[in-house]
Amino acid sequence: MRAMPEPRWPANVHVSSHPLVAHKLTLLRDTQTQPKQFRELVRELSWLLGYEAMADMATTGKQVETPLEPMTGVRLDLRVGLIPVLRAGLGMVEAMLELMPTAEVWHIGLYRDERTLKPVEYYNKLPDAATVQVCLILDPMLATGGSSAATVDVLKAWGAARIKQVSLIAAPEGIRTLTAAHPDVEVHVAAIDRALNERGYIVPGLGDAGDRQFGTFAGPSSEPGHDLSDTSETAEIVRRLQRRR
């Protein structure tokens, strides 16, 4: 049986080919991986993907004194903002801050309406105007692409000049949605999986990244990969947050 050819993705879509990324992603997918190890793997993968995503960052010269003589080195010439999409994106922040300790962190909260599969914004604490030149959206799963496209809409309206999406796993549908809506946004992922299932979850995927990080999977009665932010209880919490803003 002849293998199906790999699809050609737009030039702004970057799928890591690093063997360490592939190895750690396999461990992340495993149902036997417990929350502690899962969080550690998310952090390690985020570090590796962040390293790749920042390969084209602009630099300027910087004079330093080595123990032997002066020399001209380089330093980053851009202010970077990290935008973790709540809640699963929180697990990616620490690794990114190790790479860029001076990065600013701003939070955007979105949940997916289980009827329409469309994103609903419930939390946004961005300043009045953009304070950074480059924004990295951190979201482990790029599934339907709706949440990512909506986040980019918010950041562009805010005034962000350049935006990148960093995710662990993407679905082809999510890639197509995001790149069609925002062809200028670069996408960095560890893998692009086969498809979305009828409920809008990535397969084979790894389940729900938020539940697996924070140990909130409800058990056999809950569909694997179902984000608890879609429940009526969480929806009520969302409404309370909106009233307090």
Question: Stretch 45-53: mean pLDDT, rounded?
Answer: 95
Mean pLDDT of the chain: 84
Q: Which fold has domain 13-57+74-217+225-244?
A: Rossmann fold (3.40.50)
39, two tokens: 């969080």
**Which residue has tokens 């608890």?**
228
Q: Where are the domains of the chain?
A: 13-57+74-217+225-244
Give the integer Cα–Cα distance in Å for 189 and 171.
Answer: 10
CB neighbour burial string for 206-218, b if at least 16 within 10 angstroms, e if fewer: bbbbbbbbbeebe
What pTM was estimated for this model as a whole?
Answer: 0.82
**217 — pLDDT class (breaks 50, 70, 90):** low
Per-residue pLDDT at 194: 94
Per-residue pLDDT at 245: 45
Question: Stretch 167-188: mean pLDDT, rounded?
Answer: 95
Per-residue pLDDT at 144: 87
Give the integer Cα–Cα distance in Å for 51 and 181.
Answer: 26
CB neighbour burial string for 140-177, b if at least 16 within 10 angstroms, e if fewer: bbbbbbbbbbbbbebbbebebebbbbbbbbbbbbbbbb
Peptide bond before 204: cis, by omega within 30 degrees of 0? yes
**Which residue has tokens 């970057």?**
14
